[in-house]
Amino acid sequence: MSGKKVLIIEDEAGIRMTLEDRLVAEGYEVESRADGVKGEEAAVEGRFDLILLDLMLPERDGLAVCKNLREAGMETPILMLTARGTNLDVVIGLRQGADDYLAKPFDTSVLLARMEALLRRAPKTDAASEASAFRFGPFVLDRTKGELLLKNETVPLSAQEYRLLDFLCARAGRVISRDQILDEVWGYDSETTTRTVDVHVAKLRGRLGESEFPKHIRTIRGRGYKFVQ
Ligand code: CA
């Protein structure tokens, strides 16, 4: 696994330095940051093959960092380091898009084995192009072209329908309120109401051929919508 780039986001200097030394000795290229905000920035700016992310971090905790990176479409494997080791944290971490976790204190050889497993699993293709194509059912949302494809044919969408679909796809599996959709897809200054969201969701369902039985864009009663991949 030599030559792979690893980002360590860990505030405890002792652990950070020990990990740096060991990973460099193993042939990894290593960068590290000591808080969540700087860590997230580094993750976005650099091209890393793997991120070691501490859960309890100053400025922004590991769960938020993980969530933000996944929402931004980043698919780099993330291994969470948790001091708490409670099942709940682990479950939340994995839901936010972490690929694996290790409870502290851990044996470095165990960490190295887990890292190697994640690096083997990581897609060989360029992470950016993977993230730019989102597949659901028979559809592909091609973010590079800004188009929705069905069996390589473009599905006609208005600009607003595309924006709404892109927004929902980026948050697949999570319930999103109408207000949140309105704020983020239409903008804070918008004069539109949440009814507008419902109208566009109905149109989008029509485009997907699921007006009668919504398969991908589900209504969650009293809460909003959830995109199901
Ligand atoms: Ca910590």
Alpha carbon of 185 to ligand 1 centroid (Å) = 35
Alpha carbon of 54 to ligand 1 centroid (Å) = 6
Quick one: pLDDT at residue 85? 55
Higher pLDDT, 118 or 9: 9
CA distance 156 to 148: 8
**Res 148 pLDDT > 80:** yes
Token representation of residue 102: 């290790």
Alpha carbon of 57 to ligand 1 centroid (Å) = 5
Burial of 227 (0-12, 13-18, 19+ CB in 10 A): buried
Alpha carbon of 97 to ligand 1 centroid (Å) = 19
Beta strands 78-82 and 100-103 are parallel
Spatial contact of 178 and 164, defined as CB atoms under 8 Å apart? no
Residue type, 198: D
Beta strands 5-9 and 50-54 are parallel
Quick one: pLDDT at residue 112? 93
Token representation of residue 51: 């991120």
pLDDT band at 7 (very low <50, low <70, confident <90, very high): very high
182-191 pLDDT tens trace: 888 887 566 6
Q: Which DSSP helix (H) or strand (E) runs through 8?
A: strand 5-9
Higher pLDDT, 177 or 87: 177
Alpha carbon of 12 to ligand 1 centroid (Å) = 6
Cβ neighbour number for residue 6 with a 10 Å cutoff = 25
**Res 34 pLDDT > 50:** yes
Alpha carbon of 78 to ligand 1 centroid (Å) = 16
Alpha carbon of 11 to ligand 1 centroid (Å) = 5
Spatial contact of 208 and 151, defined as CB atoms under 8 Å apart? no
Which candidate, 215, 210, 211, 213, places its Cα nearest to that of 227?
A: 215
Alpha carbon of 170 to ligand 1 centroid (Å) = 28
pLDDT averaged over every residue in the chain = 87
Alpha carbon of 56 to ligand 1 centroid (Å) = 4
Alpha carbon of 73 to ligand 1 centroid (Å) = 25
Average pLDDT over residues 196-208: 92
Quick one: pLDDT at residue 194? 81
**Res 127 pLDDT > 50:** no
Alpha carbon of 51 to ligand 1 centroid (Å) = 15
Average pLDDT over residues 201-225: 93
Alpha carbon of 63 to ligand 1 centroid (Å) = 12
Token representation of residue 193: 């109401």
67-119 pLDDT tens trace: 999 888 888 899 999 875 566 666 777 777 888 888 888 889 999 999 998 88
Alpha carbon of 176 to ligand 1 centroid (Å) = 30
